[in-house]
Amino acid sequence: MSHYDVFNGDADGICALHQLRLESPMESTLVTGVKRDIALLGRIAGQAHAGDTVTALDVSLDVNRAPLVALLDRGVRVEYFDHHYAGDVPAHPGFRALIDPSPDVCTGILVDRHLGGTQRIWAIVAAFGDNLPDAALALAHMLPPGRALSPAQLRALRDLGDTLAYNAYGDTEADLICHPAQLYRTLSRYADPFAFIRDEPLRAEIEHSRLEDLSLAQTTPPLASLKGATVYVLPDAAWSRRVRGAFANELANRSPDRAHALLTPDNRGGYMVSLRAPLARPTGADALCRRFATGGGRRGAAGINHLPQEGLPEFLRELERAWP
């Protein structure tokens, strides 16, 4: 029998899986990719057989519905942890799901609930990586007195979450500093995030690239400033595709009453879109993006994989209507 760990390549997916495997180590086949590559169950639909098991983390059930049903029908048992829009959740004896699309929840938090907090420090990293600082701090306050975190330690965990999240952004794996599977394998050697921060050269390499890319993004003027949202178009470059999530989060934190959309040119003559709802009202991003053919995400942060050039005016109208 084989086991497959299927996970989003960002901080949330990686830290969610890390919590599970620290608690229950097992040999598995890793299935992951760039952040927007979420149709991951389809990769194993022809490989997994009756008796095999799958853990899926931080990828939309709605997007993976058909291969999920095919796996279950074949006798593969699947456990599913996610915080994105799911639609109807299948009822099947071989399926166990913990799904919560609330805007203050990430997959790492769901795994933390599942484990009863035994690896909570990594759930804190996941929440910071998903730009949920209030949720991360709430988890930190739940730690027992002997494991309380100092302000400096919390800042370090926030930087780590931001760094892990940054590494997943790119249109293709060639844009990334490190493939998410390699990053997970490296991270999996560390039970203590502070040891990873202190000792791991790969973390330092990714962090250096993140800060360099952010400095480039900060020189980009906005394309449009709407009543309740600001829109940026970054240049067609690997650095801009890598930094769009980190830059969108920075803008959201800087102006929590506004929505922010970051567009980067794609290879089809249109744009890939990263959207952040206002942190003061973190809902509506997924609903807006799902109005477009390749859109999806969660309530506070979502995206569109391909927005045609001619669709830009409609997107701007929808953006202004969503947060007037």
pLDDT confidence of residue 189: 98
Number of domains the chain contains: 2
Same domain, 201 and 230: no
Residue 30 lies in a domain: yes
Instruction: List the one residue out of 205, 137, 112 whose CA is nearest residue 166.
Output: 205
What are the structure tokens assigned to 98, written together? 């913990």
Q: Using CA atoms, how far apart are residues 255 and 150, in angstroms rounded to an integer?
A: 26
**Amino acid, res. 199:** D
Q: Using CA atoms, how far apart are residues 37 and 84, in angstroms rounded to an integer?
A: 14
**Prediction pTM value:** 0.89
What are the structure tokens assigned to 242, written together? 């890598």
Domain with residue 180: its CATH number is: 3.90.1640
Residue 92 lies in a domain: yes
Same domain, 79 and 180: yes
pLDDT confidence of residue 146: 87
Q: Using CA atoms, how far apart are residues 160 and 27, in angstroms rounded to an integer?
A: 26
- Tokens 């991270």 sit at which residue? 187
Residue 60 lies in a domain: yes
Q: Using CA atoms, how far apart are residues 7 and 171, in angstroms rounded to an integer?
A: 17
pLDDT confidence of residue 190: 98
Instruction: List the one residue out of 127, 133, 161 whose CA is nearest residue 252.
Output: 133
Residue 218 lies in a domain: no
3-class SS string, the chain: CCEEEEECCCHHHHHHHHHHHHHCCCCCEEECCCCCCCCCHHHCCCCCCCCCEEEEECCCCCCCHHHHHHHHHCCCEEEEEECCCCCCCCCCCCEEEEECCCCCCCHHHHHHHHHCCCCHHHHHHHHHHCCCHHHHHHHHHCCCHHHCCCHHHHHHHHHHHHHHHHHCCCCCHHHCCCCHHHHHHHHCCCCCHHHHHHHCHHHHHHHHHHHHHHHHHCCCCCCEECCCEEEEECCCCHHHHHHHHHHHHHHHHHCCCCEEEEEEECCCCCEEEEEECCCCCCCCHHHHHCCCCCEEECCCEEEEEEECHHHHHHHHHHHHHHCC
The domain in which residue 247 lies consists of: 224-322
Same domain, 114 and 251: no
Residue where a domain terminates, one of 208, 235, 267:
208
Same domain, 104 and 7: yes
Residue 214 lies in a domain: no
Cα dihedral 309/314/318/320 (nearest 10): 90
Q: Which residues of the chain have pLDDT under 70?
A: none
Beta bridge partners of 264: 272
Residue 127 lies in a domain: yes
Reported as a single tens digit per residue, the pLDDT across 149-197 is: 999 999 999 999 999 999 999 889 999 999 999 999 999 999 999 999 9
Same domain, 97 and 186: yes
Residue where a domain terminates, one of 208, 236, 267:
208
* Contact assessment for residue 203 and residue 189, using Cβ atoms and an 8 Å cutoff: no
